[in-house]
Structure 1
Amino acid sequence: MPPITKDEAEGTEYDLFVIGGGSGGLACARRASGSYGAKVGLAEGSPQLGGTCVNVGCVPKKVMWYTADVADNLRKAPYYGFGDEAAEVAIPKFKWNYLKKKRDAYIKRLNGIYEKNLVNDKVAYHQGWASFVSKNEVKITKDDGTSYNVKAKKIVVAVGGRPTIPSDDDIPGASYGINSDGFFEIEEQPKRVAVVGAGYIAVELAGVFHTLGTETHLMIRHDKVLRTFDPMLQDVLGDYMEKTGVNIHKNTNVKKVEKTETGLKVYTDSSDEPVEVDVLLWAIGRHANTEKLGLENLPNIELDKQGDIVADEYQNSNVEGVYVIGDVAGKVLLTPVAIAAGRRLSNRLFGPEKFKDDKLSYENVPSVVFSHPTIGSIGMTQPEAEEKFGKDDLKIYNTSFKAMSFAMLEEKDKQPTSYKLICQGENQKVVGLHIIGEGSDEMLQGFGVAIKMGATKDDFDSCVAIHPTSAEELVTLR
């Protein structure tokens, strides 16, 4: 079913109107309408539903991670008797464009599923860019310039964010580069790439490029990757990336970019010689999509210095009847967080009495990094725990080893695994868990439940180990 037309929509009043058709907005709208029977409308400016996660984020990125993982496993094969172990490990030529077409088709199918879900839950889908006329009215502008207004008793802002890229005024030639959205538009595998940034998007995309055989340069402003994560994770991942051949340029800032007949020359402040690449990818952060929301028509709405809309613990903005969920609120920028916040908001606004105080807790949110190897993290980092509780009130447990799946490989080809458990107080409550190594992404979900429930070190120890696994090391730490 296509989006509703201007004639069908104009002048309609909704119980709830959601601006943004990403994961959080869709979850909020469907819960309010499908579960509680509210009259709900949703506007999405782009032609594809699903937002960043589905179209240019988590989902296609994970497809690329799986692709790189297949390449890693092909390299393992000779050590397990497939092929000639003594020979140079050769894997079939990777067909980037073939995979891109399949990946794009998969995403297109997901877009269709999201649209069907709106139909099934009786959410009115408006394809157009929504902006505030007042706190109870929005204007929806279509790509052809036509527009119409709808009214709503309550309005949810779920417009997400987009990648930040430097201006040519700040860094001459910066616009020759692409951002993480542009990564998914690349038609053929580049031979040489520079990724600028040290966060999870930067290390994930650099990892994909490198594992698939692209000469990869990672340019970071300081001397560590993943600077908001636990130091152990920073050290293990950074060291392993360098060991496998990623060129990490530390304490480096890009000064200018020049386009030549043979590629792009990237000049930095850490070397007299430029790095020449085929693709320059900026992964230096994201910012909220608030510029065209018509926020000037919401007098005194509060924004923070990053441009995010300030929301309280119940997702309320400071304008009555206007709510904020997802990345635009600037808290824990993860898709499942936006989904959980959106559903709880609809529970509270339209659900039964038992949900009158429903809200999302932003504490102990598990997160993963799809690096090579993968990372899982929940709770406080060691520096955060030391600052809050003091070193004397903490007990830190560590272990490092090589996963059994690498047992047949030469030592130089084995991925590292390192785990850290941060425990606090006399009963040693687990306040932080940080893991890197094969399977860490899948492993974290179960441990996340335990930590959310307040697990202690004794609780971990009382769980019988599953052998032989990597995960058993977390319940046998001494």
Structure 2
Amino acid sequence: MPGFDYDLFVIGAGSGGVRASRIAAAHGARVAVAEEYRVGGTCVIRGCVPKKMLVYGAHFAEDLEDARRFGWDVGEPKFDWATLRDNVLADVDRLNCAYTDTLNNNKVEIILERATIAGPNAVRLASGQTVTAGKILIATGAWPIIPDVLGAEHGITSNEVFHLEELPRRVVIAGGGYIANEFAGILHQFGSHVTIVNRSDTILRGYDEQIRDRLLQISMTKGIEFRFNAPFEKIVKQEDGSLRIFLKGCEPIEADALLFATGRRPHTEGLGLENAGVAVNEKGAIVVGADNRTSCDSIYAVGDVTDRIQLTPVAIREGQAFADSVFGGTPRQVDYSCIPSAVFSHPPIAGVGMTEGEAREKIGEIAVYQSDFRPMKNVLAGRNERSLYKMICNAETGVVVGLHMIGPDAPEILQAAAIAVKAKLTKQAFDDTVALHPSMAEELVLMR
């Protein structure tokens, strides 16, 4: 694109931005990407990856306890938060370097400073320089929401939780979504007393009702407390540094830390979108079409900043589709149907397709199959915790329209099963498949 400094300028070096930059450069475009913090974005730096490492660390609490039933003398286990924290952050550093190397190897110019929109083909850098580009891609992701409540400054978000100097003895987690339930499981296993406070009466809205009810039951059995229909009134920091948290309709809660996990909003504030007439919706999300183009023909957006589906693999696919379409001569659009998702709670949840409620509303006549069982490991360990797998089918055709599960390794099992749902296979296809015994996954072909 002659006359411009770059063919493509990407704002944000997260999952979507990095993929779009790399693929566009591979197609021969002159590409620059600006990142105000670190290359890798939310997923790599302060999201999915470090969170999953903490999940792994948390599982050792019960695994070491169970080991005795399997004949192992493990002594008296002792957990050191600083060791895990520092090892996780060191691996984040490694990944930051790896993503940086990927961009460098693909001849993408990395600009480590904030960039904002100055016009349809212009970007202003924090240093004061303005550069031009034939196309601009916004991939700035989303940012944690902090409720507008007195004393909110005393809380932290998922951005800061990875850097805690020490683990809180008592922690309140605000929210009922996946971030709240994941960190509830993590911190509980590390020894913190956890209370989840939710302004509604439902956790994990959007997941199958039976599955989320099972998680609630298991979480309460483990000792995690819940306060429902309890909006915040104020947070007071006391002389000893602890917090006194006032809730509507509940007794105040004493805590050493408050973690806000009340959702994430598109990171568009102060981005200069008005300088190019880029439209946003009521939530501040950039409005795009199926080809990721905004209301300004030269500006595109991918990932969480569009608030379509806030999942890393979706952002990556959107970035790839954008680069292939605009610079590769191969028009592509992302298929948003049948996207699997997981909650790395304790135990984890995974699902794909319609929930039972959605299927009854959209299809009408459905058939529901399930397996409610106690995993073999739990039997020998003396744990009563049960897993639940559900399959929802179109009663007329037998096609599987939804698959949902809670139990050990549920996300690992669902990934393969999601292919069957995407391919519109029938319950009979599952029935005709020989079980892999003994495994938890075999319950997928044994459901009645």
2:385 alignment partner AA: Q
Which stretch has the larger CA shift, 201-210 or 217-226?
217-226
- State the SS of the aligned residue for 2:20: helix
Whether 1:217 and 2:195 are equivalent positions in the alignment is yes
* Conserved? CA contact 1:75–1:91, under 8 Å: no
Select 1:203's aligned residue among 181, 191, 195: 181
Counterpart in the other structure of 1:154? 135
Residue 45 of structure 2 contacts residue 92 of structure 2 at CA under 8 Å; is this kept in 1? yes
In structure 2, distance between residues paired with 1:181 and 1:414: 35
Deviation, structure 1 residue 147: 1.9
For residues 194-246 of structure 1, the C-alpha deviation after alignment (integer angstroms, 9 at most, x for no partner) is 00100000000011010111111111122331122110121000010001100
What SS does the aligned partner of 2:163 have? coil
Q: Deviations over 1:38-57 (max 9, x none)?
A: 111111111x1111111110
Query: SS at the partner of 1:181?
Result: coil
Q: Which residue in the other structure is 1:362 paired with?
A: 336
Aligned-partner SS, 1:184: helix
- Secondary structure of the 1:303 match is coil
Task: Please state if 1:30 is matched with 2:28.
Answer: no
* Contact in 2 for aligned 1:18/1:157 (Cα 8 Å): yes
Q: Check the 8 A contact 1:45/1:128 in 2, yes or no.
A: yes
**Which residue matches 1:418?**
388
The answer for the alignment partner of 2:207 in structure 1 is: 229
The reply to whether residue 328 of structure 1 matches residue 300 of structure 2 is: no
1:401 aligns with 2:348: no
Q: How many residues align?
A: 445
List structure 1 runs of 4+ shifted beyond 6 angstroms.
none
> Helix, strand or coil: the match of 2:53?
helix
**Residue number among 10, 26, 48 corresponding to 1:18 in the alignment:** 10
Q: Which residue of 1 aligns with 2:218?
A: 240
User: For residue 9 of structure 2, what is the amino acid of its counterpart?
Assistant: F
Residue of structure 1 equivalent to 2:105:
120
User: 2:50 is matched with which residue?
Assistant: 60
How far, CA to CA, are the matches of 1:91 and 1:116 in structure 2? 43
Structure 1 gaps, min length 5:
1-10, 85-89
Instruction: Check conservation: 1:15, 1:152, Cα contact below 8 A.
Output: yes
Q: What letter corresponds to residue 153 of structure 1 in structure 2?
A: G
Matches within 5 A, 1:311-460: 311-352=288-329, 355-356=330-331, 358-390=332-364, 393-410=365-382, 413-460=383-430
CA-CA distance at 1:382 after TM superposition: 1.4
1:77 paired with 2:67, answer yes
* Contact 2:157 2:261 (C-alpha < 8 Å) held by counterparts: yes
Distance 1:78 1:440 in 2: 25
Tell me if structure 1 keeps the 8 A contact 2:318–2:334. yes
Structure 2: runs of 5+ lacking an equivalent: none
Q: In the alignment, which of 281, 284, 288 is matched to residue 304 of structure 1?
A: 281
* Alpha-carbon offset, residue 155 of structure 1: 1.0
Instruction: Output the CA distance in 2 between the equivalents of 1:270 and 1:382.
Output: 33
Partner in structure 2 of residue 8 of structure 1: none
Q: With structure 1 as the length reference, what TM-score do the two structures score?
A: 0.91
Distance 2:76 2:211 in 1: 30
Q: Which string of whole-angstrom CA distances, capped at 9 and with x for unpartnered residues, describes residues 394-438 of structure 1?
A: 11112211111112122xx33320011111142211111111000
RMSD: 1.4
Note if 1:40 corresponds to 2:21: no
Cα deviation, 1:230-278, whole Å, max 9, x if unaligned, reads 101210000100011001112212211111133101111232x311111
Q: SS of the residue aligned with 2:411?
A: helix
CA contact (8 A) 1:24 1:158 kept: yes
Residue 328 of structure 1: how far off its partner (Å): 0.5
CA contact (8 A) 1:71 1:91 kept: no
Secondary structure of residue in 2 paired with 1:408: helix
In the aligned structure 2, how far is the partner of 1:249 from the partner of 1:75?
29
- Whether the 8 Å CA contact 1:15–1:38 is kept in 2: the answer is yes
Deviation at 1:91, TM superposition (A): 4.5
Aligned equivalents of 1:73, 1:232: Cα separation in 2: 26
Whether contact under 8 Å (1:160, 1:326) holds in the other structure is yes
Q: Which amino acid aligns with 2:14?
A: G
Matched, 1:284 2:262: yes
| 1:302 positional shift | 2.0
Question: Which of residues 240, 246, 257 in structure 2 aligns to 1:267?
Answer: 246
State the Cα deviation string for residues 18-54 of structure 1 (Å, max 9, x = none).
11000110011101112x12111111111x1111111
1:137 counterpart = 2:122: yes
Give the match's secondary structure for 1:400: strand
Mapped to 1, the partners of 2:25 and 2:294 lie a distance apart of: 22
Q: Which amino acid counterpart does residue 254 of structure 2 have in structure 1?
A: E
What amino acid is the match of 1:29?
S
AA partner of residue 336 (structure 1): P
Equivalent pair of 2:433/2:445 in contact (CA under 8 Å): yes
Q: TM-score, normalised by structure 2?
A: 0.97
| CA deviation map 1:59-90 (0-9, x unaligned) | 11001000001112011111112239xxxxx7
AA partner of residue 20 (structure 2): C
Q: Is the CA contact (8 Å cut-off) linking 2:266 and 2:304 kept in structure 1? A: yes
User: Does the residue aligned with 1:76 lie in a helix, a strand or coil?
Assistant: helix
Contact 2:273-2:279 at 8 Å conserved across structures: no
